[in-house]
Structure 1
């Protein structure tokens, strides 16, 4: 589990309005979010998988024909 040490800045009414994190904690938090996004995209792709596959040689032919 990721441990963070936030510092809060409050507005004139005393409500929390901003958060300050040490840079290393922010970077780790962003990495965790990117990993979660990758998992979400993988799960979405698996859910949309029809089982249809395109042979690699056809993919390469298509790429080459689109370059011209």
Structure 2
């Protein structure tokens, strides 16, 4: 379903801005955030993981927990 969109034009009739419902704007922002998160996950994919037990032990050793 296409989102209802209105345009603001300059004196030449060129589209320079867009007006859309706030719910659609928030949905676009959420989608962008999700895509950024996915890109970060993909970027870090080759990094080695650390077992949870090792993380907990390191935190205990340094007095963090």
Fold-level match, TM-score > 0.5?
Answer: yes
Local SS of the residue matching 1:36: helix
Local SS of the residue matching 1:17: strand
Match of 1:29 in 2: 28
User: Unpaired segments of 5 or more residues in structure 2?
Assistant: none
Normalised TM-score (structure 2)? 0.70
- How many residues are paired up? 63
* Counterpart-to-counterpart distance in 2, 1:28 and 1:42: 21
Match of 2:38 in 1: 39
Normalised TM-score (structure 1)? 0.67
2:11 is equivalent to residue 9 of structure 1:
no
User: Unpaired segments of 5 or more residues in structure 1?
Assistant: none
